[in-house]
Structure 1
């Protein structure tokens, strides 16, 4: 496993986590994060346990964004 490739891939994933693409709703953001995490694991850049951490982080951001949407109702 190339440490530099792993660091770059994780940096890109966390960038997407923090700043979703313009016009991307919460569900699309979550789906893109999951796809990206799956791809990192498929390429062997992250382990299964690292993949689970990314999924938990994506889920937490998704839950917070959904709670924010319903919070004003």
Structure 2
């Protein structure tokens, strides 16, 4: 895999992290981010450490998006 492919895949991942698709709720965004990270690791674009970092970032974004839900806020 080339560095260009890796850069493009990561740019798309971070774009989805920053700007979810229209009508995409936080859970759908989280699922898509995880699928994309899994696919990048599966195809060798990223290593396991990079995959973990992406999963942590997706998890933090999901937690922030859902914070307060279910607590009446």
**TM score, norm. by length of structure 2:** 0.92
Separation in structure 2 between the aligned mates of residue 54 and residue 39 of structure 1, nearest angstrom: 12
Q: Which residue of 2 aligns with 1:52?
A: 52
Separation in structure 1 between the aligned mates of residue 51 and residue 26 of structure 2, nearest angstrom: 20
Q: Which has the higher helix share?
A: 1
RMSD: 1.4
Map 1:15-26 → 2, pairs under 5 A? 15-26=15-26
Matched residue pairs, number? 73
Gaps of 5+ in 2: none
Gaps of 5+ in 1: none
**CA-CA distance at 1:45 after TM superposition:** 0.2
